[in-house]
Each structure stands twice: as structure tokens, then as C-alpha cells.
Amino acid sequence: MNLEEFIKRMKRIRKHGYIKSTRGGNTGIGYTLELELGLKENNISKPDLGIIELKAQRRGSKSKITLFTKDKGAWLIRPKEVILEYGRTDQRGRLGLYCTISNKPNPQGFYTLLAERTFYVRHVDGLDITAWMVEDLAATLSTKMPNLIIVIADRRVDSTGREEFWYNEAYYLEGVNEEKFVEYLNNGTVTVDFRMHIKSGGSVRNHGTAFRIEERFLPDLFSLKIDLLGSELNDILSRIKT
């Protein structure tokens, strides 16, 4: 489906009003939208822009999404040593480190710190655990999400407890707003997740250090934001590079 057809279908969906979710749980909002759009894959095509990823979110949602994962060259202390020093044993008897880190110390003593264009995970005992250059993080975000379409829906629950969605806003987003990204790194809006454990053989299973953000803040990270349902189609297409 190209962008023009997507906009036309979205305007029809908006007029339809509330639509019953076709799947329970968090993924219901995206799955239901895909069915209404007739999409077999969760993306929209646009000449010379390749594939534009499509995301649907509940209005005001505080659910988090992963922006990207980045470990290469970041560890100042070997991950296994970090787990041995600060990890906890899970229900499966594995020693691991699974936690979310923001700009305030978490229960494990980790917090994030931005200093002179370097973004650290530091422990309250004074050790720097990981470090990334801000420019590298912004470039990774730009590569991972060069452009994006976000559809926002109001939600309600019927008498049986089933969710219903009214998909009434859609935005095209492009280009990393580095100033806002740095602000969100600094104030803890963008968080870091450690997700690793020591396997039975002694090696580390690292699922990737994840940079995450609440869905409602995601549009702020882009420098170009176009209302796909509140503007004329020709104006929209002229503003998006072809």
C-alpha cells in the first residue's frame, strides 16, 4: 500500500468511529488497524523512502517501546563482572541483571548521566558501567527509525470487557530531533534496560541493552511531523520528499 492509499483508507476508518478489537492484549490495537487497512505487513511504502513503519498507540499511553539496542563498544566493565557484582538470581536459578535505568538511582543502584556529550550508566558506588557518544546514539536512532507513521486511537471498553478503538489521528514523522533526544536522555524520559544473565556454561546471554521511551513521547523525537488526516492530500505529498 502506498502513502496516498493509506491516507484515503485512514480517513474512512476515522469516519467509522469505534471498532471492536479483534485481538486481546496490548497488540490488539495494531492488529485491528492492520485488518481494517487490509495490510498483510505492518508498513507503508513510499517511493524513494523505502518502507515507512506503521505504529498504532492508545491515546496518552504510558506503555514503552524500544527505540533501538546498542552494546558494541559501550561496556567499560565486562558484562559478566557487572552481573556477578550487582546481579540477582531469578526464579530459574540464573544470576542475571534485568532492570530499567533512568536519571534517578534504581533499586540496583544504577542511574544514567549525560556529561559533555557522553551518556553514561553509572552506579552509586561511583563506577561507570557503560558509555555512549550522544552523536552515535542519535545516528543509531536515525538509522533504526528514519521515518514513521503513528496512528493514535481513543479507547473504550464494552460491557464484556472488550476494547474498542477509534482511530482518529495519524502523523507522518521523519528526521531525528537531536535537541529533543538529548533532552530526553538527560531528564530520564529515554531509559536504558539491562537484559542479561549468566548461562549454565558460564557465558553471558545479553538480549541487548535497550533504549526505551513511553509511546506518548515518541513523536517529540522527530523534526518533521505532518498531520495526515488534517491536511489536504496534495499538500501532504508535497511536503514529504519523493
Q: What is the CA radius of gyration of the chain?
A: 21
Are the C-beta atoms of 193 and 212 separated by less than 8 Å? yes
Sign of CA dihedral 19, 34, 30, 238: negative
- What is the C-alpha separation between 240 and 236, in angstroms, rounded? 7
Name which of 107, 31, 26, 97 is nearest 62 in CA terms: 26
CATH superfamily of 3-239: MvaI/BcnI restriction endonuclease, recognition domain (3.30.70.3570)
What's this model's pTM, rounded to 2 decimal places?
A: 0.88
* Amino acid of residue 84: L
Are the C-beta atoms of 226 and 232 separated by less than 8 Å? no
- Domain borders along the chain are 3-239
Q: Give the per-residue SS3 of 43-102.
A: EEEECCCEEEEEEEEECCCCCEEEEEECCCCCECCCHHHHHHHHCEECCCCCEEEEEEEC
Q: pLDDT (tens digit, 0 to 9) for every residue of the chain, 242 residues total? A: 788 889 999 999 999 999 999 988 888 999 999 999 988 755 565 544 457 889 999 998 899 999 999 999 999 999 999 999 999 998 889 999 999 999 999 999 999 999 999 999 999 999 999 999 999 999 999 999 988 999 999 999 998 999 999 999 999 999 999 999 999 999 999 999 999 999 999 999 999 999 999 999 999 999 999 999 987 777 777 777 64
